[in-house]
Structure 1
Amino acid sequence: MKNRYRILAMLFVALGLAAPGLAAAAGPGQSRVTTAHDFAFRSISGEELLLSEFRGKSVLVVNTASQCGYAGQFASLQKLYERYRERGLVVLAVPSNDFGGQEPGTASDIEHFARHEYQVTFPLTGKVTVSGANAVPFYKWAGEQAGLSGKPRWNFHKHLIGPDGNFIASFSTQTEPDSPRLVRAIEESLPEPEWLRSEPAVKQSGEPKM
């Protein structure tokens, strides 16, 4: 019995020694947990585009390509944006030439196609690499969050980011912007309406209802 207590005591001591090391990993001077708000792109016109500018909004990040057979999704993405924009949704198109070389044009070509062919009004970034070792930092981070099956394998892959910048979900190329699964995820992620946040709490009088 004494040996048993001695072993238990040693275990508690070992755990006590290990705990400070675990706490130190998240202590002062250590890197904090990264969110999407720590990353930036260049806009299609060349200005810095900080994802922190979208703090408090849900963001659907989509790698796009003008010559892709799925380019028709631009129209559905625009409708989605118009439907939920006032409730706090941002659609962010990220042009990329990674898959099939289907985005070979200049920034001007890319913007003209999206704006004039599909009347897109949501923001576009400049053309970047979204896959492999040379992927831009946001896509490396999103790939880590999504796991292997959630990394872009073709154009029009979708990453949903919450109002707090945390990764929510990934959706494949084949998932249409108006699919019930994607729409449901967006609705669940949207920030609480301001009128609801500011509504005063109803006091409970304790009196019986008439």
Structure 2
Amino acid sequence: MKKFTLLIFFAMIATIGFGQESFYDFTVKNIEGQDFSLSSLKGKKVLVVNTASKCGLTPQYEALQALYKQYGGLNFTIIGFPANNFLGQEPGSDDEIQEFCQRNYGVSFPMMSKISVKGSDMAPIYQWLTQKSKNGVMDSEVGWNFQKYLIDENGQLVDFFSPKTKPDDPKIVNWITGKAN
């Protein structure tokens, strides 16, 4: 009987993802270099995007800012992670990136410190976003700048969208607003 009880216990643990990290378990640095606990976003839907200032997709900052302006607030936010992983398209310092985003696109959504989103020096938050063994949902690979990850109000990965998917794509907007796709 004890073996059966233990078997049930371990099956329950496996089912609920015991030990599984959530988005909220991470603390990152914001673009000013201060700690930013992702647990401060509990209860919000979050769009996570890796950004770059010298990319053909850089104009997506405009649509990201419009999305944030329209839906950002109590139940939704966007977090930008500058990264220099693709053809050196984000060579600037955090100060230069912040100034660029503010001057050219009026970015007011939270921007984080520059990180790596792929390779051997991949930031822990991106390891979680891209590895099913860590997020419990799916594997993915960051294909280019402006790939988008959707995190639900409980800190769980929901889906991701390719870099070419525009921030105001109906599937993303419907997810934010809770409308069926």
- Shared topology, TM-score over 0.5? yes
TM-score (norm: length of structure 2): 0.87
**Residue of structure 1 aligned with 2:155, choices 146, 156, 165:** 165
| Matched letter for residue 184 of structure 1 | N
Q: TM-score, normalised by structure 1?
A: 0.75
Structure 1 residue 85: Cα displacement? 1.4
- Shift in CA distance, 23/42, structure 1 to aligned 2, threshold 3 Å: same
Moved over 6 A (4+): none
Contact 1:160 1:186 in 2 (8 A): no
- Residues 100-179 of structure 1: pairs in structure 2 closer than 5 A: 100-145=87-132, 147-148=138-139, 150-179=140-169
- Provide Cα deviations, 1:142-162, integer angstroms capped at 9, x if missing partner: 1124644x3211000000111
Q: Aligned residue for 1:201? A: none
Q: Which runs of 5+ in 2 are unaligned?
A: none
Question: When you count helix as a share of all residues, which structure comes out higher?
Answer: 1
How many matched pairs? 172
Closer, same or farther: CA 18–59 of 1 in aligned 2, 3 Å: same
Q: CA deviation at 1:133?
A: 2.8
Q: Cα 1:23–1:181, aligned 2, differ >3 Å: closer, same or farther? A: same
Alignment CA distance shift 1:98-1:34 (3 Å) = same
Work out the CA distance in 1 between the residues paired with 2:4 and 2:128: 29
Shift of 1:138: 1.1
> Which residue of structure 2 aligns with residue 185 of structure 1?
175
- Structure 2 residue aligned with 1:92: 79
Please state whether the residue corresponding to 1:86 is helix, strand or coil: coil
The CA deviation string for residues 5-34 of structure 1, in whole angstroms up to 9 with x for no partner, is xxxxxxxx8xx836614624739xx95221
Give 5+ residue unaligned stretches, structure 1.
1-12, 190-210
Equivalent residues of 1:74, 1:120 under 8 A apart: yes
Are residues 180 and 103 of structure 1, via their aligned partners in 2, closer, same or farther at CA, if it must alter by over 3 Å? same
What is the CA–CA distance in structure 2 between the aligned matches of 1:153 and 1:97, rounded to whole Å?
A: 13
- 1:104 & 1:36 partners in 2: Cα distance? 27
State how 1:30-69 maps to structure 2 within 5 Å: 32-69=19-56
Q: Does structure 1 residue 20 correspond to structure 2 residue 1? A: no
CA-CA distance at 1:87 after TM superposition: 4.8
Code of the residue aligned with 1:156 in structure 2: it is F
Q: Tell me what 2:67 maps to.
A: 80
Q: Superposition RMSD on alpha carbons, in Å? A: 2.2
Task: Note if contact 1:94-1:127 (Cα within 8 Å) is conserved in structure 2.
Answer: yes
- Choose between structure 1 and 2 for higher RCO, CA contacts under 8 A separated by at least 6 residues: 2
Task: Indicate if the aligned counterparts of 1:94 and 1:124 stay in contact, CA closer than 8 A.
Answer: yes
Instruction: Output one character per residue of 1:164-207: Cα deviation in whole Å (capped at 9) or x when no partner.
Output: 10111101001001111111122229xxxxxxxxxxxxxxxxxx
